Amino acid sequence: MTEWQRKSPLEWQTYLNKEAKVTAAEKHEYVGWVLTVDPVSANIVLAKLLEDEKVSVSVVLGHAVQKVEIVSEGDSPIQEQLAHLFMPEESQAYSQEELERRKSSLKTWLETNHIPVTEEGESQRTLCVAGVLTIEPPYGPEDCSSSNEIILSRVQSLLQGYFAVPQ
């Protein structure tokens, strides 16, 4: 097991949204912005921002990682760009006003139904349900994430019902 594989998920999290140079087996080097690190395999997903808003994504297998160096810290515009890389096109089509309206409407509906909800993140864009589930813009069922599969499934079902009724 490599030194990289021995790190904890909290240690890997410190690399997110930072530009890194990863040295792998046989002295192969990869440079890119760290999107995520798989907590089971220790695989690193890197994104290299190219011209014309194109992106090159590389996955470096955890067992091959020999060294990871931070090249630069990600500033807010870079973090925002990385966060939107894999958003569905339709969610990018929402205006800021529409996203705010959807968030506000959903938050009010959740509170009305006695479901505890708070706003989180630097820009207060993320809704947090009962401290165990997050809902990211554009606030649909597919935008939910939680480590608790039962809660995730139930909240997604609630949201599907909510969005089935015209707002």
pLDDT in tens, 128-154: 999 999 999 999 999 999 999 999 999
Using alpha carbons, select from 162, 163, 131, 126 the residue that is nearest to residue 148. Answer: 131
> Could you tell me the two tokens for 121?
């993140």
Asked if 104 and 117 count as a contact pair (C-beta separation under 8 A), the reply is no
Domains of the chain in sequence order = 3-85 (2.30.30.100), 96-164 (no CATH)
Q: Starting at the edge strand that comes first in sequence, how are the strands of the sheet with 126-129 ordered? A: 117-120, 126-129, 133-135, 144-145
Q: Which residues of 92-111 are buried (b: 16+ CB within 10 A; e: fewer)?
A: eeeeeeeeeebbeebbebbe
Using alpha carbons, select from 64, 17, 23 the residue that is nearest to residue 36. Answer: 17
Sites in the chain below the pLDDT cut of 50: none
Q: Is the pTM of this model over 0.85?
A: no
